[in-house]
Every structure is written in C-alpha cells, then in structure tokens.
C-alpha cells in the first residue's frame, strides 16, 4: 500500500498553521499558566518543602507541570482539530479524498504532537528563567515527551470523533485529565502520602506518566522507568486499536 505523503503533509501543515494563527490561546496561555505555578509553588512555597534525596522542590515540580500541560494540550489540540471538519461538514471531503487512515492520523495526530513539543520547549525555556533545574537524561526525556504527546493526541482524536458538541470536547481534558494529573504527584511524591491514600494513588494511571518524566529529569522517581514506559505504550496501542475500529465501522464519522 502506497502512502499519500502529500495528503498527510497538507493536513499536518494546515493544523500546525492554525496554532500560529491562534498563538495566544495555543502557546501563550499555557506558558503563562505554567509560569505562575512555577513562581507560586516553586519559588514561594518550594523553600519550605523538603523532599527525599535532597531534591529541590522547584526542580521536582517541573516535570509534573510539563506533564500537566502535555496531557491537556495534546488532547485538546487533537480533539478540536478533527472535530472542526465534522462541525463544518469538511469531513466528507476528507473521507472521499485519496487519504487513508494512516495519512489522516499522521496529519492530525502528528500536528497535535508537534504543537505539544513546541509548547514543551517553550515551557522548559521559560522554567529555566525561574528555576534552576537540570535534565539527567535529555535524550530519554525527549523521546518520552514525544511518546506521551503522540499517545494523548490519539486520545484527543478519539474524543473529537466522539464529541457532538463543543462542550463535550472539554469534558475529558478539564474534568478528567486535569484532576487526575493534580492528584497524580504533580506537586508531591506519593511516597509521602499516608495509607490508604498512597494505595489509592496507585490506581491513578497519570501517576506513572508523571513519574516516568520525573525519572528522565531527576534520575529518580517513585517507580522504575520501565513501568511508566510500559503503561504509556499499552495506552497508545489501545488508542490505535479504537481508531482502527472507528474507521472500519464508520462510527461517528458520517453523523
């Protein structure tokens, strides 16, 4: 099967350019929000916090805040990107074009992941101006960020196909992902939680994502990096399977 690379690139380019047309909401707003978290928690409260291993609190929360932005922005960007063609009716042109499932995913999901990578780079650059932090494993950190961005862009793609209103687009990012991330060790280590709350936290899948990214930054976390990688890859494969089923059955595509 020959891939229509030109078609995939056209979708990707259109979605990426939309980010720059709405730069304030797509880039500046998440960066400002994350910077406020870093100032308030990292600089103001961090001096009063003590963590195991002598890690500075400001450096500790950088991976968690980056993960918070990655999850919400990757999901929102991908869901909005595929929902708008449904909303305007342009989805029928896409379905009739010589563009297959792979090209469509490369275009929409690749664009959402690219936006998240750009946003992650801007956030890390901004954080360096506020907090002195280092990345213990920069190559692994890059690939892990890329993996998370691609995985949750796939989740956002599914949400965009499922949603039939703008309100439903916000349900998962705002009412599910954000609370799970806040409760997933963004601002604290779950090792300091008393029982039964520590055991309850282990049910939260975002805990493993946050700790995986934290390991690439600090070289230590509450869980081995293999556990975090395995959980992320498993969720990615589940999302790919759901999308394959959607395109095979046409569910929500022609409504």
Residue closest to 10 by CA, chosen among 85, 116, 89: 85
Q: Which residue has the higher pLDDT, 238 or 255?
A: 238
Decide if pLDDT at 155 tops 90.
yes
Q: Which one, of 181, 145, 158, 191, lies nearest residue 79 by Cα? A: 158
Burial-class residue 107 by CB neighbours within 10 Å (0-12, 13-18, 19+): buried
* Whether 109 contacts 154, CB under 8 Å: yes
Q: How many residues does the chain have?
A: 255
pTM of the model: 0.89
CA distance linking residue 98 with residue 202, whole number of Å: 45
For position 254, what pLDDT does the model report?
61
Q: What is the dihedral of CA 44, 45, 50, 52, to 10 degrees?
A: -100
The answer to whether 58 touches 42, Cβ cutoff 8 Å, is yes
- Residue 89 backbone zone (phi > 0: left; psi -120 to 50: alpha; other: beta): left
pLDDT of 47 over the 70 cut = no
Higher model confidence: residue 125 or residue 48? 125
Provide mean pLDDT across the span 132-138. Answer: 91
Share of the chain above pLDDT 70, in %: 93
pLDDT tens-place string over residues 71-111: 998 999 999 988 988 888 777 777 777 777 788 888 999 99
> Would you say the C-alpha torsion 178, 44, 209, 152 has a positive or negative sign?
positive
Can you tell me the distance from the alpha carbon of 99 to that of 204, in angstroms, rounded to the nearest whole number?
A: 37
For the chain, which residues make up each domain, given as ranges?
5-249
Residue 1 pLDDT: 54
Q: What is d(CA 192, CA 202) in angstroms, rounded to the nearest whole number?
A: 13
Mean model confidence pLDDT for the chain: 86
Q: Does residue 190 have a pLDDT over 60?
A: yes
Please give the pLDDT value at position 48: 65
Better-predicted residue by pLDDT, 44 or 189: 189
Q: What is the pLDDT of residue 57?
A: 84
Task: Please name the residue ranges forming H helices in the chain.
Answer: 5-21, 23, 29-37, 57-88, 91-96, 101-130, 138-162, 166-169, 178-182, 197-201, 205-218, 225-249
Residue that the structure tokens 């002598």 belong to: 54
Distances from the Cα of 251 to the Cα of 8, 54, 79, 194, angstroms:
22, 52, 16, 45
**Distance in angstroms (rounded) separating the CA atoms of residues 25 and 164:** 22
* Closest listed residue to residue 163, CA positions, set 68, 72, 251: 251
Phi-psi map region of 243: left, alpha, beta (phi>0 left; psi -120 to 50 alpha):
alpha
Question: What is the predicted pLDDT for the residue at 53?
Answer: 65
Q: Is the pLDDT at 252 greater than 60, yes or no?
A: yes
């Amino acid at each position: 099967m020959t891939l229509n690379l030109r078609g995939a690139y056209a979708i990707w380019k259109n979605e990426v350019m939309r980010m720059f047309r709405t730069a304030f909401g797509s880039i500046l707003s998440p960066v400002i929000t994350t910077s406020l978290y870093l100032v308030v928690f990292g600089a103001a409260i961090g001096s009063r916090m003590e963590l195991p291993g002598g890690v500075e609190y400001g450096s500790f929360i950088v991976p968690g805040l980056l993960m918070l932005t990655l999850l919400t922005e990757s999901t929102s960007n991908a869901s909005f990107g595929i929902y708008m063609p449904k909303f305007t009716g342009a989805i029928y042109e896409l379905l009739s074009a010589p563009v297959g499932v792979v090209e469509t995913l490369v275009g929409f999901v690749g664009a959402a992941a690219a936006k998240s990578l750009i946003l992650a780079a801007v956030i890390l650059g901004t954080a360096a101006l506020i907090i002195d932090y280092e990345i213990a494993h920069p190559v692994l950190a890059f690939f892990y960020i890329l993996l998370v961005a691609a995985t949750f862009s796939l989740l956002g793609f599914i949400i965009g196909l499922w949603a039939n209103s703008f309100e439903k687009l916000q349900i998962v990012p705002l009412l599910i992902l954000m609370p799970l991330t806040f409760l997933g060790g963004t601002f604290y280590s779950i090792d300091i939680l008393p029982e039964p709350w520590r055991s309850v936290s282990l049910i939260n899948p975002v805990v493993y994502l946050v700790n995986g990214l934290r390991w690439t930054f600090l070289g230590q976390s509450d869980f081995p990096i293999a556990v975090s990688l395995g959980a992320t890859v498993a969720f990615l494969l589940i999302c790919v399977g759901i999308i394959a089923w959607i395109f095979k059955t046409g569910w929500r595509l022609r409504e």
